[in-house]
Amino acid sequence: MSTAISIAWKSIIIALVVLALKIVAAWLSDSVALYSDAVESIVNVFTAIAALAAILIAARPPDENHPYGHEKAEYFAAMAEAVLIGAAAFAILSQAWFTYHDRQMLNVPAEAFAANILAGIVNGVWCLILIRKGRALRSTALEAEGWHLFSDVMSSLGVLVGIMAAKITGIAILDPLLAVFVAANILWSGWQLMKTSILGLMDTAPDDDIIDTIRTAIAEEGNGALEAHDLRARLSGPVTFIEFHLVVDGQLSVNKAHNICDRIEDRLLVEIPNSRIIIHVEPEYKAEEHNSISI
């Protein structure tokens, strides 16, 4: 089982544990805030399942219907998480609005606080693991889930701070101000996820440093060829698709030209793991002056 898949499974289990803790917290108190926090957690169980489904689909090898692979499936899960992050931001703002206007929040026993705080800690630790692992594995779905959990941790924190402030009072204006700051941060992370997904779905070119790595690999491993041009690359989740034209002496044997291609491919696979490379070989009269890679 790949690491991403096993992390996605653990995520579902953790979402269930957190949901159970929040139900206990809501049940022990009459707090509407804690109740709505628990309801929000149900959504997390579903998004954890959606992330697992997306990762399982993405992990399938290319087939007849999807000859370029299924990696983009992860972007859909990430977009769904981005939308929910946006919703969380507005929930925090409306929560802040209510606590600001109605500060008589009542009986919240210590056990309920404790259960809610414990749920927040479990979520907080797990969201950091998800974001770190998601980045390392280039799994957009895992990273998105991590940011979504982060937005939940922040909103739970907002709920607790709101209740505390309601109990203590006096610093009422600090509470909504904090909520606005938290909501803005969360909206920003949601927008970043949305952007990553849109760029991936639109086959946007990879960052300049990846293009530079490719150009250097061609220049250094292409001995025997004359130049390369029409380099194009795109990202699909963890996969990088690379293609270019390689100009060789028209009299060079197919065997020799193919050896040059293999050498460049081997180097690219080391420098950019998970790359899929197509090289189109051309004779010298096809050489181009503009933007070519000299070898």
Nearer to Zn ion, 133 or 286 (CB): 286
Among residues 101, 111, 141, 200, the alpha carbon closest in space to that of 11 is found at 141
Query: How many other CB atoms are found less than 10 A from the CB of residue 51?
Result: 32
Cα-Cα-Cα-Cα dihedral of 155, 157, 161, 162, to 10°?
Answer: 20
Closest distance between Zn ion and the C-beta of residue 279, in Å? 9
Among residues 209, 199, 200, the alpha carbon closest in space to that of 271 is found at 209
Q: How far apart are CA 193 and CA 156, in angstroms?
A: 21
Contact 211, 291 (CB under 8 A): no
Contact 141, 51 (CB under 8 A): yes
189: tokens are: 């992370």
Q: How far apart are CA 69 and CA 87, in angstroms?
A: 32
Q: How far apart are CA 197 and CA 204, in angstroms?
A: 10
Closest distance between Zn ion and the C-beta of residue 233, in Å? 16
Nearer to Zn ion, 10 or 286 (CB): 286
Q: How far apart are CA 12 and CA 55, in angstroms?
A: 13
Nearer to Zn ion, 30 or 243 (CB): 243
Closest distance between Zn ion and the C-beta of residue 230, in Å? 5
Closest distance between Zn ion and the C-beta of residue 245, in Å? 3
Nearer to Zn ion, 10 or 256 (CB): 256
Closest distance between Zn ion and the C-beta of residue 260, in Å? 11
Among residues 13, 18, 61, the alpha carbon closest in space to that of 39 is found at 18
Closest distance between Zn ion and the C-beta of residue 159, in Å? 59
Nearer to Zn ion, 104 or 255 (CB): 255
Residue least distant from Zn ion (Cβ): 245
Closest distance between Zn ion and the C-beta of residue 188, in Å? 42
- Name, in order, each residue with C-beta under 8 angstroms of 124's C-beta and a sequence gap of 6 or more: 150, 153
Nearer to Zn ion, 245 or 267 (CB): 245
Site residues for Zn ion per CB under 5 A: 245, 286
